[in-house]
A and B are shown apart, each in its own frame.
Chain A
Amino acid sequence: MFRNQYDTDVTTWSPTGRLFQVEYAMEAVKQGSAAIGLRSRSHVVLACVNKAQSELSSHQKKIFKVDDHIGVAIAGLTADGRVLSRYMRSEAINHSFTYESPLPVGRLVVHLADKAQVCTQRSWKRPYGVGLLVGGLDESGAHLYYNCPSGNYFEYQAFAIGSRSQAAKTYLERRFESFGDSSREDLIKDAILAVRETLQGETLKSSLCTVSVLGVGEPFHFLDQETIQKVIDTFEKVAEDEEVEAGDGEAAVAPAEEGGDGGAGAGDQDVAPMEM
């Protein structure tokens, strides 16, 4: 993406019909650390990579509970993400208060998208620099949506955003057709495996990722470290065993699955302090 004379204002079109400021905002999403979402017919799992500014600080919170039946994972400018999460919580609770019924997630994402669109059409505003993976329930079951800074939203069976998300997406693309009927446990396992893809060789530990689940009859909640570690142990162990069996030279399960990364996403040293 090159600097040009049409990219100063969000309300200036380029001759080729692009709004560069909006596209630059979507770049900010790509710089944030990865967030992953997948869904079955009855459950949605949101997972993300825990990133801390330095060894001294705690990691940024990237997954938020919006209501018992809706959760959101963000990537990009976390400050923008927090503001939008607060908006979502407010919409959900207002609906709940008036109708004593949970706000259908499909309607929430439309409100969110319309809010984002406003910022692409006012000269005194800027687009939100955050991508949101919204998972929730409505009358027709579990849904996963991606809201982007442009004001567009799409529904997904599974998706990943943020840096090195391409690796996760490749993993998910291979398996998404079976997610609809997946059990809750398999869905969680796939989410953690997808997170591992984005780590590019770093050993997966439960302290490196946050996983949340919601589903029919199961309110939104985070999985604790122990549970996550147990899931990790099931497939790390399998990998170890296979390595031992295969002997030297033959690729074990774990390294083989890390094939797909296209090298997208900046290295850690290029991430600006405000972006996570």
Chain B
Amino acid sequence: MTFTIPIDNGDSVKNAEADSQRTLYPYVTGTSIVAIKYKDGVLMASDMGGSYGSTLRYKNIERMKAIGKHSLLGASGEISDFQEILRYLDELVLNDNMWDDGNSLGPKEVHNYLTRVMYNRRNKFNPLWNTLVLGGVKKGESYLGMVSMIGVSFEDNHVATGFGNHLARPILRDEWHADLSFEEGVKLLEKCMRVLLYRDRSAINKLQIAKITEEGVTVSQPYSLKTFWEFQAFHNPTAGAQGSW
């Protein structure tokens, strides 16, 4: 997918609208986020990697952050755009707090605000190159939604971004059910993250799990999953792919 338009705006010294002002491709990216609703709220998992193309350059990036009292935002895609979004949300939450009137932004409001931002940027051909996952709990109701870089937005009981769409979703469709306990939820997420670790080349074995409940947000300390590389299929991976080269 490309966002270039063949218009020559000249050099960016004299002309502020020259192309270098628009996002054309992502540089430092985060890989999948996987999130599920469970009994007390929402659980979200992500690894701590920031890839620079095919290089796993940064290994300590927190891709999940608390927003206000009631929400948790996870992002995959361009890390600098995620940081920009955090600044927008910071301002939003600040203004909301300044009202000091007993009303506060819940996860639904934050999700819709982000949808508006992402869609408007897409319309200007200058997207924020992220897929965002927004989870939260307010007044006992859990909320989990997703927004993509082109402004596609929806809610669901379980979501995944990037490679997670292909590798984690099928597992979640089979094994998610309502009212998972915390332990069951973590196990389910770890199962998805393990598959991603084996199969997604931009995943690293250092992950965090974040939980959001009525009480608030907790992000776990980073930890790694046990992996097993002695599967028969791993020994001779191309055994089934006979070819001329």
Contacts and interface: CB of A to CB of B under 8 A. Distances in A.
A140 B106 contact: no
Contact of A100 (B99, B101, B108): B108
Contacts of A106: 99, 101-103
Contacts of A101: 106, 108-109, 112
A139 B112 contact: no
B25 interface: no
A219 interface: no
B116 A139 contact: no
Given A100-B108, A101-B108, A139 B113 contact: no
Interface in B91-112: 99, 101-106, 108-109, 112
A175 B173 CA distance: 58
A254 B129 CA distance: 70
A139 B99 contact: no
Nearest to A100: B112
B101 A99 contact: no
Contacts of B109: 99-101
Nearest to A107: B99
A128 to B, nearest CB: 24
Taking residues whose C-beta sits less than 8 angstroms from the other chain, chain B's interface range is 10 to 19
A68 interface: no
Contact of B105 (A97, A99, A138, A140): A99
Interface string B144-161: 000000000000000000
A98 B101 contact: no
A42 to B, nearest CB: 16
A98 B111 CA distance: 10
Interface string A65-107: 0000000000000000000000000000000011111001011
Contacts of B116: 97-98
Nearest to A103: B103
30 contacts: A97-B116, A98-B112, A98-B113, A98-B116, A99-B105, A99-B109, A99-B112, A99-B113, A100-B108, A100-B109, A100-B112, A101-B106, A101-B108, A101-B109, A101-B112, A104-B101, A104-B103, A106-B99, A106-B101, A106-B102, A106-B103, A107-B99, A107-B101, A138-B101, A138-B102, A138-B103, A139-B103, A139-B104, A140-B102, A140-B103
Given A101-B108, A139-B102, A139-B104, 7 more contacts: A98-B113, A99-B112, A100-B112, A104-B101, A106-B103, A107-B101, A140-B102
Interface of B: 99, 101-106, 108-109, 112-113, 116
Interface of A: 97-101, 104, 106-107, 138-140
